[in-house]
Amino acid sequence: MTKLPSSKNNSQKEIVLELRDVVKTYNSGNVIFNALDHVDLKIYKGEFISITGPSGSGKSTLMHIIGLLDNPTSGQVLLDGHDISKLKETQMAQIRNVTLGFVFQQFNLLAKTSSLENATLPLLYSDVPKSKRDGIGLSMLQKVGLEDKLKNTPAQLSGGQQQRVAIARALVNNPKIILADEPTGNLDSKSGKDVMELFHHLHKKEGRTIVFVTHDLDLAKEADRIIIIKDGHITVHK
Amino acid sequence: MFKPSLEDLLKSSIRSILKNKGRTVLTSLGIIIGVTSVILLTSIGNGLKKYISDQFESLGANSVFVAPGKLFNDKGGFNNNGGGQFVSTTFNLSDVALLKRNLRPNTVIPVSITTAEVRSPKITKPDIFIIGSTEQYATGVNETPSAGNGRWFTKEEYDKKDSVVVLGYTIAADLFPQSQALGKKVIIKSKNYKVVGVLDKKGSSFGGPDVDSQTFTPLDNVFGITGNNHLQRILIKTQDKSDVPDVKKEVEKILLKKYDKDAFTVFDSSQLLDSINSIISALTTGLAGIAAISLVVGGIGIMNIMLVTVSERTREIGLRKAIGAYPRAILVQFLIEAVILSCAGGFIGILFGFLGSLAINKFFPASVTLSSILIAFGVSATVGIIFGVAPARKASKLSPIEALRYE
């Protein structure tokens, strides 16, 4: 089952992020709606996990909780064993900065801004000194194969290249988890394949922890472990 | 430590401002216009003050004037009930003699003023100020014809009541448009006077009579014209500038023995200058205040464009928040953009105001002061902060989830 280089099973592996009995409730008018209904989930270090499910299943809500963009209504979110579910916005932002790397469907690169500057954007909000930022950005862009496009702006790049800049951006802070939300959704099949290759490479060769959110079950199957979410409940598939 | 650093914030703010150059210029225009007008108006005010104080300086800083009536109110401004002209008090030569006795060695100069028709062979000018005084008057108020334009009348001419006049620059040119006035005859009240001197052009002085169109003659000639020997002014020339306050007190003490305290005014040029300056200052402040309204309008323009910017860049804000920007970092980023917009406007406005003042200076006294530049810059920065806060707060409060979803 596992594609990890080491052949440990889950019980022996280190847990990076754990959701314990997480409930997320939305109030729309008089209707109370549980987007997540008592969800438990463990994300282990170095695993490639995909989350899939139909729209309205609670997939996005789960992603926001894992991405530390939202706090649960009840339950605990443990990062390296520490409960962070009650933290304030500013603290959450700082944790996101050093813990997570985001890859979005829409790339979300800054327009008229070079690849290098886009890639190093998270370092603006980190403790990494200015003198080291460009070096880190450069090595991450090399990793995604764009070392010859440092000065190019997003408009001068193809969709696949833009997404690779975004992946470089997700890597610059050496995150514990890379959270990719439909990263191939806006790409043609060739570019999509390249991006998936890149994720596999980061997972296998660098042991990165990747959480991959998609509605496409075929793509989801490329991961070590598939989480299917439906009506706010999750089922773990192997 | 605040992250990102100020340097990084400035860099990214400047870049995003430069992405919309046309919009930036239009947004700053309000501030540019406001600052330009504030600078121009204050520099005109300042120039006016400087011009007037120069004029008074030329009147002589060591002069004390005595005039009938109460000229000033208690606050140092001009008295607007009564005034100099409508009082019955007049001085006479016995007052001058009295002052001379008591104020030695200072010079006491009697002045009698009237208006009369002055005629040259071809031209008649009505209502000309005729100033009757002594030979010392010229040095008393720094009015001596320059070389080639004749001279002031002498002590001999004064003593002998000779029919001689010294003409102001304008009246000389008006009476003798084709030729030199010097040495010609003019007729005042059917009596011939010889022009012995023509004064240099002084320009009209604010708050005082126009020296250029006055005519000067020995005192007794004016007595002859008016039929009495009333004096409208007594001018005391002190030995030194520092004697002025003491002499003023002394003159008041002497005159109080003869006259009521509201019947006369003893003043020096600095006092007159202060009064005029207080009027100009009030005027300048008022006008600059009106101009400053456009700064507020400019500020609203900046707020408007910043709100648009925040909407346009919602996704960027969402992204920045997702990757670790906390609310205050976003707030400061957008605030800096607003301040840069208004300060750039302020800077250009100062430049325009400065150039405008230089241009105006050719026709009218204007001088830019450092304080007006600093105030204009401070005000535009403040406008940027005040009107930048609302959009920046809006940006900082966006939820990253909503912002990333924004289309």
* Residue B82 pLDDT exceeds 60: no
**How open is the CA angle B378-B384-B388, to the nearest 5 degrees?**
155
Q: What is the pLDDT of residues B216-253, one digit of tens each?
A: 999 999 998 888 888 888 888 888 878 888 888 888 88
Say what the pLDDT of residue A191 is.
94
pLDDT recorded at residue B85: 47
Q: Verify that B315 and B389 share a domain, yes or no.
A: yes
B274: helix, strand or coil = helix
In the three-class reduction of DSSP (H, G, I as helix; E, B as strand; rest coil), residue A179 is classed as strand
Q: Examine the domain organization and report whether B357 and B233 are in the same domain.
A: no
Within-domain flag for A81:
yes
pLDDT of amino acid B166: 92
Looking at the fold, whether B166 and B283 belong to one and the same domain comes out as no
Domain membership flag for residue B103: yes
Beta strand B233-237 pairing with B164-167:
unpaired
CB-based contact B324 A102, cutoff 8 Å: no
Distance from CA of B402 to the nearest CA of A (A): 10
Q: Which two tokens stand for residue B81?
A: 């009930």
Cβ neighbors of B182 (< 8 A, separation 6 or more) are B149, B150, B195, B196, B197, B198
pLDDT of amino acid A67 = 93
Residues B280, B150 share a domain: no
Q: CA B84 → CA B127, B212, B232, B263, distances in Å? A: 19, 22, 10, 10
Q: Is the pLDDT of residue A123 over 90?
A: yes
Q: What is the pLDDT of residue B67?
A: 85
A93 and B321 in contact by Cβ < 8 A? yes
Cis amide linkage into residue B4, ω under 30° from 0: yes
Domain assignment present for B74: no
Together in a domain, B126 and B236: yes
The DSSP-derived string for B344-357 is HHHHHHHHHHHHHH
- Cβ distance A64 to B401 less than 8 Å, yes or no, reads yes
What residue numbers bound the domain in which B294 lies?
6-54+276-405
Question: Is A218 among the domain residues?
Answer: yes
A216 within a domain of the structure (yes/no): yes
Smallest CA–CA distance from A169 into chain B, residue: B323
Question: How many angstroms separate the CA of residue A139 from the nearest CA in chain B?
Answer: 19
**Does B84 have pLDDT greater than 50?**
no
**Per the structure, how many domains does chain B have?**
2
Helix (H, G, I), strand (E, B) or coil at B341: helix
Q: Which of B258, B290, B312 is the last residue of a domain?
A: B258
Task: Determine, yes or no, domain membership for A48.
Answer: yes
pLDDT in tens, B47-73: 888 887 777 766 666 788 888 877 776
Integer Cα distance of B130 and B283 in angstroms: 33
Mean pLDDT over residues B129-154, rounded? Answer: 82
Flag if A90 and B318 touch (Cβ within 8 Å). Answer: no
In a domain, A203, yes or no: yes
B316 part of contact set with chain A, CB < 8 Å: yes
B381 touching A (Cβ < 8 Å): no
**Are B281 and B372 in the same domain?**
yes
Share of chain B above pLDDT 90, in %: 26
Residue for token pair 């007008």: B37
Residue of A nearest to B20 (CA): A112
In degrees, rounded to 5, the angle at the alpha carbon of residue B74 between the alpha carbons of residues B73 and B75 is 95
Is the CA virtual torsion B32, B34, B35, B41 positive or negative? positive
> Is B228 in the same domain as B352?
no
Residue B128, H or E segment? strand B124-133
A101 band by pLDDT with thresholds 50, 70 and 90 = very high
- What is the H or E stretch that residue A101 is in? strand A100-103
Question: In the prediction, which pLDDT does A4 show?
Answer: 44
B207: confidence class by pLDDT, cuts 50, 70, 90: very low
Q: For residue A186, what pLDDT is reported?
A: 92
Residues B307 and B179 both lie in one domain: no
Q: Letter for the amino acid at B207? A: G
Give the largest CA-CA distance in chain B. 103
- Cβ distance B324 to A122 less than 8 Å, yes or no, reads yes
Do the domain assignments include residue A50?
yes
pLDDT digits over B246-294, tens only? 888 888 888 888 888 888 888 887 777 788 888 888 988 898 888 888 8
Quick check: A84 pLDDT over 70?
yes
Instruction: Tell how far CA B252 is from the center of its chain.
Output: 30
Residue spans of alpha helices (H) in B132-266: 137-140, 155-159, 169-175, 219-226, 244-256
The residue-averaged pLDDT of B13-35 equals 89
As a whole number, mean pLDDT of residues B155-160 equals: 90
- What lies within 8 Å, CB to CB, of B197 at 6+ separation is B145, B149, B150, B151, B152, B153, B166, B167, B182
- The average pLDDT across B5-9 equals 86
Considering the domain boundaries, does residue B384 fall inside one? yes
Q: Is B327 on the interface with A (CB under 8 A)?
A: yes
Q: To the nearest whole angstrom, how far is the Cα of B24 from the nearest Cα of chain A? A: 17
pLDDT(B147) > 80: no
Residue A7 has a pLDDT of 43
Rounded Cα distance, A160 and A180, in Å: 14
B356 and chain A in contact, CB less than 8 A: no
Average of per-residue pLDDT across B368-397: 90
Choose the closest CB to B315 out of A89, A108, A121.
Answer: A108
Q: What is the pLDDT of residue B78?
A: 67
Q: Is the dihedral of CA B61, B64, B66, B69 positive or negative?
A: positive
Q: From chain A, which residues contact B within 8 Å (Cβ)?
A: 64, 67, 69-70, 89-90, 93-94, 96-98, 102, 104, 106, 108, 110-113, 121-122, 124-127, 130, 169, 173
What's the whole-number mean pLDDT along residues B151-156?
Answer: 89
Residue B47 C-alpha, separation from nearest chain A C-alpha, in angstroms: 48
The secondary structure element, H or E, covering residue B58 is helix B21-59
Q: What's the pLDDT tens digit per position in B385-406?
A: 999 999 999 999 999 999 998 8
Find the CB nearest A104 among B4, B316, B404.
B404
Q: Is residue A4 part of a domain?
A: no
CATH label of the domain that carries residue A119: 3.40.50.300
Distance CA B323, CA A123 (A): 9
Answer for the pair B134, B231: CB distance below 8 angstroms, yes or no: no
pLDDT at residue A211 greater than cutoff 60: yes
CA distance B234 to B294: 49
Mean pLDDT across chain B: 85
Task: Tell whether B366 and B228 lie within a shared domain.
Answer: no
Contact by Cβ (8 Å): A158, A191: yes
B61 assigned to some structural domain: no
- Regarding whether B174 and B116 lie in a shared domain, the answer is yes
The domain of A48 spans 12-237
Q: Do B3 and A126 touch (CB under 8 A)?
A: yes
Contacts of B315 in chain A (CB under 8 A): 106, 108
Answer yes or no: do B243 and B286 share one domain: no
Which B residues 8-27 touch A at CB under 8 Å? 8, 12, 15, 19
Question: Looking at the structure, do residues B340 and B389 belong to the same domain, yes or no?
Answer: yes
Query: Is pLDDT of B87 > 60?
Result: no
Nearest CA in chain A to B327: A90
Residue A8 has pLDDT above 50, yes or no: no
**Residue B81: predicted pLDDT:** 53
Which residue in B10, B315, B319 has the most chain A C-beta atoms within 10 A of its own C-beta, making it the best mutation to test that interface? Answer: B319
What's residue A1's pLDDT? 42
Is residue B79 in some structural domain? no
φ/ψ of residue A229, rounded to 5: -115, 135
Model confidence band, residue B105 (pLDDT cutoffs 50, 70, 90): confident
Question: What is the number of structural domains in chain A?
Answer: 1
Instruction: For the full predicted model, state whether its pTM sits above 0.80.
Output: no
DSSP B284-316: HHHHHHHHHHHHHHHHHHHHHHHHHHHHHTHHH
In this structure, is residue A1 part of a structural domain? no
Q: Looking at CA atoms only, how far is residue B296 from chain A in angstroms?
A: 32
CB-based contact A110 B316, cutoff 8 Å: yes
SS3 assignment, position A196: helix
